[in-house]
Amino acid sequence: MMIPPDIEEIARKIKTMEIRGAALIAETAVSCLKSIAERSRAKETNEFIKELDIVARRLLDTRPTAVSLPNAIRYVMYRVLQAEERGEGIDSLREITVKACDEFIKNAKEAIGKIAEIGARRISDGDVIMTHCHSTAVVAILKAAKAMGKSISVYATETRPLYQGRLTAEQLLQNDIPVTLIVDSASRYFMKRVDKVLVGADAVAANGAVVNKIGTSMVALAAHEARTLFFVAAETFKFSPETIIGELIKIEERPKEEILPPEIAMKGLKGIEVRNPAFDVTPPDYIDLIITERGIIPPQAALTVIQQELGPIIYEKLGMYSTYRES
């Protein structure tokens, strides 16, 4: 099976970060699986699953750090493969795939609303918040806090090299939340004026460490030094089951052109080595709490969340479902 051009284009956009944000990537991935299921002309169940598998593998190749992507695909494929084991026919498998995709997207959207409600309660009237990069969950919490009548203001880092912090600033301004845009390296300078730091996550490990946009750990270090509370907002589908069995979350390195465009490199920097890691790891000791749709947890409780939310996928026939694990 050839991957349809529209699906290939979506995969390209995820890889180039035209489609970005862990939640949106996950929802986009399952939408692709739903599209394949709806248009499939497969006559046999194994042929149908092979079509899904080809698309799943292509999507998994796009962003190695975004745990939400394999977890979203697991959510769907786990249910499809279970149905195949039960002897379900092709029509049933197609229906189960579509239903699983719709359920995941519905749950993901509801999770943001619950995180917003829970997180907003931890914001006090008059708080000055610092955030890094762009997170749908973080923006939702800040909007909910404002809707509760709380007066807040925000420092948003630019988040180089792709400046996702500008998107955060734009969305906050649209909701009449005062925001000051600062360069990433100024986070320590302004930390003494900040009451709480609030960031999103691309992945949460079993030990409570958080993988987020590069620079997050430096903001966390500055907050730790200043004794400023550091909060993480993350849906449970961003928790990494692989880390239970000792696997590390792979840190994606982006193209050097994001930092040094060719037209600049030609002006005396041609041939210079450039490193462009997209994420870093914030240790659990620097995190005060993680806000999930299931409630607020200390980072040390991440293992329990993984066991409760993703346990069946980890422990039941792990080998069969390992196709949908990052490697």
The active-site residue out of 202, 280, 285, 288 is 202
- 263, with CB counted inside 10 A (0-12, 13-18, 19+), is exposed
**Is 202 noted as a catalytic residue in this protein?**
yes
Return d(Cα 232, Cα 288) in angstroms, integer.
8
Please compute, for residue 62, the number of CA atoms within 13 A of its CA located in the half-sphere on the CB side. Answer: 29
Task: Report the chain's terminal Cα–Cα distance, integer Å.
Answer: 23
Q: Which residue type, as a one-letter code, is found at position 160?
A: R
The active-site residue out of 101, 133, 184, 288 is 133
**Is 133 noted as a catalytic residue in this protein?**
yes
Return d(Cα 8, Cα 13) in angstroms, integer.
9
Return d(Cα 149, Cα 139) in angstroms, integer.
16
Task: Please give the DSSP secondary-structure letter assigned to residue 237.
Answer: G
- Listed residue (179, 180, 327, 309) closest to 241, CA to CA: 309
- 2, with CB counted inside 10 A (0-12, 13-18, 19+), is exposed
Catalytic residues: 133, 202
